[in-house]
Amino acid sequence: MHTGFFTIYRRDMIRFIRFKTLLISSLVQPALWMAFFGIAMSASFNRLTMEIPTLPGVPTVDYLTFMAAGVIAMTTLFTSLFGGITILFDKNWGLMREIFASPLPRTQIIFGIALSGMTKSFIQAGIIMAFALLIGADLFAGFTPAGTVFAILGILLFVGVFSLGFLFLSAAISISLESPEGLQGIITLLTMPIFFASNALYPINAFPPPLQAVSLANPLTYLVTGIRYFAIGNNFQAVGTQYTVTPSAIGFAFLFLAGFTLMMFGLAWWRFQKAVVT
Amino acid sequence: MSGQIITVQELYHCFKEVVAVDGISFDVKEGEIFSFLGPNGAGKSTAINVLTTLLPIQEGRATVAGYSVADDPQKVRESIGIVFQDVTLDRDMTCREILEFHGNLYRMPRQERKRRIDELLTLVQLENKQDVRTKHLSGGMKRRLEIARGLMTRPRVLFLDEPTIGLDPQTRMRMWEYIKDVNREGTTIFLTTHYMDEADQLSDRISIIDHGKIITTGRSFELKNALGEDLIYLETSDLAGTREVLSEMEMVKEITIKPRGISAMLNGDGTKVLPSIMETLATRRIRVNVVNVKKPSMDDVFVHYTGRELRDEGAERASSAVTRAGRR
Ligand SMILES: Nc1ncnc2c1ncn2[C@@H]1O[C@H](COP(=O)(O)OP(=O)(O)OP(=O)(O)O)[C@@H](O)[C@H]1O
Ligand SMILES: [Mg+2]
């Protein structure tokens, strides 16, 4: 196996640690989301849903716990879509030329960038989970220690595959663009529909059918489903909706994400073969 | 020291309407130092970018180290090293990290990497800056670091795009010496420059390039000899009259009007012709203020072939001050 990606990976991580403001903001931001958005939203949602009769025999999950999965997913989405920006900086500073003129295969560049983005997402997911538990979310409630470890690994698996997919997409966009501003614009355009047409913050079964269709084609929905399955369980109710997840549904969610990621890798590979950097 | 390590045939490259490289053909022999000498915008960097696979080949054919640039770019990249014209250093990495990263890109073994980095940091006198981030280096230090980086992998062909730009005279000399050392150890060097002395001192062969075309190629002394043997420069009270006198002399090959004087390329020994020139001028009552006889320099070669003077900068401006004198 070619290990050239590690060279790229290491440099990107050095930078991540070295740019203190970037480092701190990327660590604090998800916690802030959880703190403000989470607490505010759960206060109002919990009050609104108090009226809704609960299903007997199905464990009820409060809104904070419900949306923690959404915040992990959203943070992963943002971080991953932004992950390719290092490529744009490298291009603008002329650093990409050194790499492109070297024998390092271009796929290794893609892998290196994607893996460092994935690492950042893992760190952020960890922070959000810890912070969510701290402010009272009932993640991993009633799990054995072994079960908790398994659940965390499951979450990281889903977060990992998902983030790779969007990092590949981000790399593909970045290598085709000239300036970081362009990437910012595209990200803003992409994140809105991806985030809101998903089950991250509310159930999708109340959506009008077209929007439901969109959210069922949305990778974020499958990531959220996966995280909830591992962090909460396979049968619970929240926001007046019952969630039951069968193993085959989880399998499908994973395959969907894996398929998406493969497609995005194909896209990135193609864009990198075409790319001219001078 | 045998075959051709770079072959280029009818290479053409344009950016939209701008023709940067206009059908050039040349070969570089294994083991030599070969230079592209040309003014700003001549197409030197573009040619290097194509040969180093950074730009695609639009028209023409090229091989580097025996591999087709168009069909086998990966093999080409494994055989070459480059020092780019402009700074390409990560501002937030230290000197040592920059070199480490580069060595890793080329998969240099750990021990060799470390040894080479130590050696090169000493060479470019950056040992005590090795843990300093590159944004805190002076311009010349950055350049030295980049040269060290280009030399790290000891490639078969090393491309140096204006390598000594921005260096002080001592450092330039040291770099030339080191480039020669690297060359002696077997690396072919392809150099671009607009410094006459650099091309003159460093290269085995020089191609003069202008407007995307190679105008002439040869060894430094061949290029100079082709011009003539001696060059006479005169500043007089009557330039037009002087020109007339000169153009009637047997040995005068070519006359060039300079901003303040006139120069003539001679077929033979200048010291022998000079007395008769002075005599004729005297009979015409033309007063001579300055006189100078010298062997043609690279500058003269350049002016001869491109019709412009090449200075460190502002080559474009200088060209308007020089007019080409017609032959007899
Ligand atoms: N990326 C580009 N896009 C458009 N035009 C370009 C590009 N790169 C170079 N050119 C044009 O191609 C021509 C040749 O440029 P090139 O950089 O090869 O010259 P050069 O000989 O290296 O000059 P210098 O001594 O200034 O480095 C110039 O007219 C330049 O404007
Ligand atoms: Mg150039």
A101 touches B at CB < 8 Å: yes
Tokens representing residue B104 in the block: 């890793």
Residue B328: predicted pLDDT: 32
**In terms of CA atoms, which chain B residue is nearest residue A10?**
B101
CB atoms within 10 A of CB B144: 26
pTM of the shown model: 0.85
Query: What residue segments make up the domains of chain B, in order of their start?
Result: 4-223, 228-295
Is B15's pLDDT higher than 90? yes
Cross-chain CB nearest to A94 (options B77, B86, B93) = B86
The string of pLDDT tens digits covering residues B69-104 is: 999 999 999 999 999 998 889 999 999 999 999 999
Cross-chain CB nearest to A101 (options B82, B91, B101) = B82
**Ligand sitting nearest the alpha carbon of B160:** 2
CATH 3.40.50.720 fits B228-295, yes or no: no
The string of pLDDT tens digits covering residues B110-145 is: 999 999 999 999 988 899 999 999 999 998 899 889
Does ligand 1 come within 6 angstroms of the Cβ of B64?
A: no
Strand B288-294 versus strand B262-266 pairing type: unpaired
CB contact under 8 A, B107 and A4: yes
Check residues A8 and A178 and name the one with the higher pLDDT.
Answer: A8
CATH fit for domain B4-223, picks 1.10.1750.10, 3.30.1330.30, 3.40.50.300, 3.20.20.70: 3.40.50.300
Does ligand 1 come within 6 angstroms of the Cβ of B13?
A: no
Distance CA B310, CA B318 (A): 7
Average pLDDT for chain B: 86
Tokens 């080559």 identify what position?
B315
Atom of ligand 1 nearest to the CA of B36: 21
Return all residues near B319 (Cβ < 8 A) that are at least 6 apart: B307, B308, B309
Is B327's pLDDT higher than 50? no
Tokens representing residue A163 in the block: 């983030």
Q: Are B291 and B234 in contact (CB under 8 A)?
A: yes
Strands, E assignment, chain B:
4-15, 18-29, 33-37, 59-64, 67-68, 80-83, 157-161, 188-193, 205-210, 213-218, 230-236, 252-257, 262-266, 288-294
